[in-house]
Amino acid sequence: MYKTYSMEIGGKTLTIDIGRVAAQANGAVFMKYGETTVLSTATASDKPRDGIDFFPLSVEFEEKMYSVGKIPGGFNKREGKASENSVLTARVIDRPMRPLFPKDYRNDVTLNNLVLAVDPQCRPEIVAMLGSSIATCISDIPFYGPCAMTQIGMVDGEFIVNPSQAQWDEGDLKLTVASTSEKVIMIEAGANEIPEAKMIEAIYKAHDVNQEIIAFINQIVSEVGKEKHSYTSCAIPDEMFDKIKELVPPSEMEEAVFTDEKQVREENIKEITAKLEEAFADNEEWLEVLGEAIYQYQKKTVRKMILKDHKRPDGRALDQIRKLSAEVDIVPRVHGSAMFTRGQTQICDIVTLAPLSEKQRIDGLDENITAKRYMHHYNFPSYSVGETKPSRGPGRREIGHGALAERALLPVLPSEEEFPYAIRAVSETFESNGSTSMASTCASCMSLMAAGVPIKKMVAGISCGLVTGDTDDDYVVLTDIQGLEDFFGDMDFKVTGTTDGITAIQMDIKIHGLTRPIVEEAIARTRQARLFIMDECMKKAISEPRKEVGTYAPKIISMQIDPQKIGDVVGQRGKTINEIIERTGVKIDITDDGNVSVCGTDKEMMDQAVEMITIITTDFEKGQIFKGKVVSIKEFGAFVEFAPGKEGMVHISKIAKERINHVEDVLTLGDQVTVVCLGKDKMGRISFSMKDVPNA
């Protein structure tokens, strides 16, 4: 059965075809928003995956270059591994949907989104987000949806629902909000110092639009939705929990988990695990799920103590931040470095500066963005949590954390005209116990300042957690959550910003949504915390950007030349520019509009290169003074090279004040001489004089 549905969102038509394609998937929708076209499918395995204690959900966002009329770059003319944008989009789809599947569901589920065509007025990411929700809702896969997602941009202070790609790229806000029919379940934002009140207004504007979409989805489900299939529950048996509590009373579990030392807590849990393994040695069925049972017992214990007694595992007050420390210049020779420590979370960030030619090239679906000048990379090695495993490169989590810190700092970076450098910040996680991405933001901000990057304002970040009870008004918000509170709590609400406003948000939850009072309290708490971190920690390590880049950082001199003179600087087959580079050791970049960047570490050599370029691009006038080298001697005079590829002739009569019979009597090849320009001779060559140099 082939059915089509449509609705207007943000002044553009969303059309959904069901039953037209991909009939063998559990759920499939052929989505069009404007002319952007995405196929979204949801599939599930028949049986649960053996031996796992988590829900195996996979989300894919496949960018196909044919969707924008391109052939992929590189030697292999087909799409390779997922781009960073693909990974980040998949994460944004995963985060709100995962909590809406049954907690005891262990069947493999894959949500696939294939981008077939892109209309720049309708971003494919939002189409895929909605497509995944609708495909799952109409499928037979158990799901407590629907959920809907809306993006909000802001141009000239006005909110735009589902903005075009240009409005998204150039506006002051990039906000994605997911909602159920009652509550907000996910927030992702990058912002140009948006005030907290304005951000809350934008969030709930998106939430209101989501309610319209959810009503639309419910209509579709009522007409074509499949009956949800039954599944094998992986819930822990009640009798097992009763036996565990008998062997390990709640008071013993409280004593085990309530400590500010992660290692001590883990050792306590190991002892409890060993005790229960011995007790259940004859019950293989219980032994298989013992790890999950102990996890849930810890979770219930921690949640009860926080919610009822307002007692945190490490003894802090609900709004108290862990011990802070910060320092800069901990790594020699690099262009900038800083370390930020908050409790048992520690990040070292290192900044590298390079010419703008080192910008990252991007081959993606957004034709407005072909290169990235600021790159933030985040690494999370196993030793940071006391584990051992080989490094396999950055995963989705690392890419997501790096992108979050990158969004946090982009609004305060200087323009390319103010600071003509490509900038790379790398955050190395030395120790982790909660919210390393926010520590990465703080460390990166200080590292940029230490490197001499003239950022406009200081940026800090913090994360708030949440524990909820049985009613909407029974909850506790926690400032600066550690790992245990993240694992066992209901929310990880990360916010970064300056003293004037928010630069980034990433909110994940494990429950079916947040009420507006919770969102408002979390945003207010994060503001208080980030101001405290800046004043009490970061500013004491470094209060403002250094006035100059470091000794080992490349220096850049920018100059403007007549675009018609670019060919003179480059020379035939690059001969002239390569000779300048060989003589001075600098790097030279020239743009089509005549902007020249000379980059190097030796100021004297850079000045020489600038002088050479200036000479080459200057129209020669009588009376100009040059220094050059004798490169050729003839009977009638000598040729002097005064810049790479540029020569002038000194006639024998113009070499010395007295008469000379032979040029060789005064000059030899390689001599450095000072000459004055006499104009051009009858043959159009530049004519020089040595004897007429003023004060010679």
Tens digits of residue pLDDT in 469-492: 888 889 999 999 998 888 888 999
Cα 157 to chain centroid, rounded = 25
Give residue 386's identity as a one-letter amino acid code: G
Q: pTM of the prediction? A: 0.87
The span from the CA of 102 to the CA of 124, in Å, is: 28
Count Cα neighbours of 215 within 13 Å in the Cβ-side half-sphere: 9
Three-state secondary structure call for residue 616 = helix
User: b/e string for 641-656 if b means 16 or more Cβ within 10 A?
Assistant: bbbbbbbbbbbbebbe
Any alpha helices (H) in 483-574, and if so which ranges?
483-488, 516-533, 539-541, 566-570
Question: Residues near 81 by Cβ (< 8 Å), separated by ≥ 6?
Answer: none
pLDDT at 78: 87
Can you give the pLDDT at residue 88?
A: 95
Alpha carbons within 13 angstroms on the beta-carbon side of residue 541 total 27
Condensed to tens digits (0 to 9), the pLDDT of residues 504-530 reads 999 988 888 899 999 999 999 999 999
Model pLDDT, residue 696: 61
pLDDT in tens, 87-99: 999 999 999 999 9
d(Cα 52, Cα 106) in Å, to the nearest integer?
Answer: 8
Dihedral sign of CA atoms 365, 369, 375, 376 in order: negative
What is the biggest distance separating any 2 CA atoms in the chain, rounded to whole angstroms?
A: 116
Q: What average pLDDT does the segment 408-433 reach?
A: 95
Cβ contact 649:639 at 8 Å? yes
Closest C-alpha to 665, from 674, 651, 652, 677:
652
Alpha-carbon distance 365 to 356, whole Å? 23
What is the pLDDT at residue 494? 96
Per residue in 550-578, pLDDT tens? 989 999 988 899 898 898 899 888 888 99
DSSP secondary structure of 280-343: TTT-HHHHHTHHHHHHHHHHHHHHHHHHHH---TT---TTPPPPEEEEE--SSSSSEEEEEEET
What's the pLDDT band for 135 if we cut at 50, 70, 90?
very high
Q: How far is residue 28's CA from residue 39's CA, in Å, rounded to a whole number? A: 7
Q: In the β-sheet with 324-328, what is the strand arrangement from edge to edge?
A: 324-328, 336-342, 345-355, 421-431, 374-379
Write the pLDDT tens digit of every residue in 577-605: 998 999 899 999 898 888 898 999 888 89
pLDDT per residue as tens digits for the range 27-61: 999 999 999 999 999 999 999 998 788 899 999 99
Apex 85 CA angle, 83 and 86, nearest 5:
65
Q: How far apart are CA 226 and CA 452, in angstroms?
A: 60
Q: 616: which residues sit within 8 A by CB, 6+ positions away?
A: 565, 568, 569, 576, 643, 644, 645, 646
Q: What average pLDDT does the segment 604-631 reach?
A: 85
Average pLDDT, the chain: 92
Do residues 101 and 137 lie in contact, with contact meaning Cβ atoms separated by under 8 Å? no
**Of the candidate ranges 132-141, 186-195, 647-656, the one whose mean pLDDT is the lowest:** 647-656
Report the side by side order of strands in the sheet with 27-33: 3-9, 12-18, 27-33, 36-48, 107-117, 57-63
Euclidean distance between CA atoms 168 and 365, whole angstroms: 14
Per-residue confidence (pLDDT) for residue 618, from 0 to 100? 78
The CA-CA-CA angle for residues 291, 296, 298, to 5°, reads 95
Give the mean model confidence (pLDDT) for residues 620-631. 84
Pure H helices in 534-638: 539-541, 566-570, 575-584, 603-617
Query: What is the rounded average pLDDT of the residues 232-248?
Result: 86
Q: Which residues of 462-486 are buried (b: 16+ CB within 10 A; e: fewer)?
A: bbbbbbbeeeeeebbbbbbbbbbbb
Asked if 599 and 661 touch (Cβ cutoff 8 Å), the reply is no
CA angle 210/215/220 to nearest 5° reads: 120
Tens digits of residue pLDDT in 280-331:
888 888 888 888 888 888 888 888 889 888 888 888 999 999 999 999 999 9
Could you tell me the pLDDT band of residue 628, with boundaries at 50, 70 and 90?
Answer: confident
Contact 340, 347 (CB under 8 A): yes
Please enumerate in sequence order all residues whose Cβ is within 8 A of that of 256, keeping only pairs 6 or more positions apart, or say none: 265, 268, 269, 271, 272
- By percentage, how much of the chain surpasses pLDDT 90? 60
The region of weakest confidence among 210-214, 494-498, 646-650 is: 646-650
The C-alpha atoms of residue 530 and residue 534 are separated, in whole angstroms, by: 6
Q: How far apart are CA 624 and CA 677, in angstroms?
A: 5
Burial of 551 (0-12, 13-18, 19+ CB in 10 A): exposed
For 185-252, the DSSP string reads: EEEEEEEEEE-HHHHHHHHHHHHHHHHHHHHHHHHHHHHHPPPPPP----PPPHHHHHHHHHHS-HHH
Angle at 652 between CA 648 and CA 653, to 5 degrees: 110
pLDDT in tens, 337-389: 999 999 999 999 999 999 988 899 887 787 767 789 999 999 999 999 888 98
The predicted pLDDT at position 316 comes to: 92
Query: Quick one: pLDDT at residue 530?
Result: 96
Question: Does the structure show a pLDDT above 80 at 681?
Answer: no
pLDDT of 438 higher than 90: yes
% of the chain residues with pLDDT over 70: 100
Q: Which residue has the higher pLDDT, 216 or 572?
A: 216
Per-residue pLDDT tens digits for 177-187: 999 999 999 99
Q: How far apart are CA 455 and CA 436, in angstroms?
A: 22
What band does 657 get if pLDDT is binned at 50, 70 and 90? confident
